[in-house]
C-alpha cells in the first residue's frame, strides 16, 4: 500500500506559521492564520483557504513546480486531520474577498 507521508515543521516563535512538507518530494506549503498573520499571496504560487471553526487560514505553496496539484490538496487535508478538523472545507478563493463584495 502506497501512502503519502507529510511532515510538519513548527515555528517556535509563531504557533500559526507551520510548514507542511512532503517527505518524498519537494512540496512545501506555508500555513497562515489570517486573523494573526500578515498574508500577501505570491502570484507564482498556489493558494488555498480554509475556515477552522471560525479561524480563517491560508495555505500557500513555496517554490512550487506545479507537478502535482492534487498533492497540495492531499497535504492540506492531512493538516486538517492533524489539527483535529478533518471536515474542514478547503476553498480556492480568499473568503475575506467574498465578504468585502457583499
Whether residue 63 is contained in a domain is answered as yes
CA distance 10 to 12: 6
The answer to the question of residue 12 being in a domain is yes
**Domain total for the chain?**
1
Task: pLDDT band for 25, please (50, 70, 90 cuts).
Answer: confident
Q: What's the confidence (pLDDT) of residue 9? A: 94
14, β-bridge pairs: 11
pLDDT at 27: 93
47 grid coordinates: 493558494
Q: Tens digit of pLDDT for each residue in 35-82?
A: 888 889 999 999 999 988 888 999 999 988 888 888 999 999 999 999
List C-alpha distances in Å: 12 to 9, 15, 39: 9, 7, 19
Instruction: Report yes or no on 34 lying in a domain.
Output: yes
Give, as one character, the DSSP assignment of residue 89.
P
- pLDDT band for position 31 (50/70/90)? very high
Q: Which range of residues forms the domain containing residue 66?
A: 6-101
Domain membership of residue 77 (yes or no) is yes
Q: Would residue 1 count as lying in a domain? A: no
Report helix, strand or coil for 80. helix
Read off the pLDDT of each residue in 4-24 and give the average, rounded to a whole number: 89
* Contact assessment for residue 48 and residue 76, using Cβ atoms and an 8 Å cutoff: yes
Residue 72: CB atoms within 10 Å: 23
Amino acid at each position: 500500500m502506497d501512502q503519502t507521508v507529510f511532515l510538519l515543521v513548527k515555528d517556535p516563535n509563531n504557533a500559526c506559521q507551520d510548514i507542511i512538507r512532503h517527505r518524498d518530494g519537494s512540496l512545501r506549503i506555508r500555513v497562515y492564520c489570517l486573523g494573526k498573520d500578515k498574508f500577501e499571496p505570491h502570484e507564482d504560487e498556489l493558494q488555498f483557504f480554509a475556515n477552522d471553526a471560525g479561524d480563517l487560514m491560508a495555505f500557500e505553496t513555496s517554490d512550487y513546480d506545479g507537478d502535482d496539484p492534487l498533492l497540495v490538496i492531499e497535504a492540506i487535508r492531512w493538516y486538517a486531520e492533524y489539527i483535529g478538523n478533518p471536515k474542514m472545507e478547503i476553498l480556492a478563493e480568499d473568503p475575506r474577498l467574498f465578504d468585502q463584495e457583499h
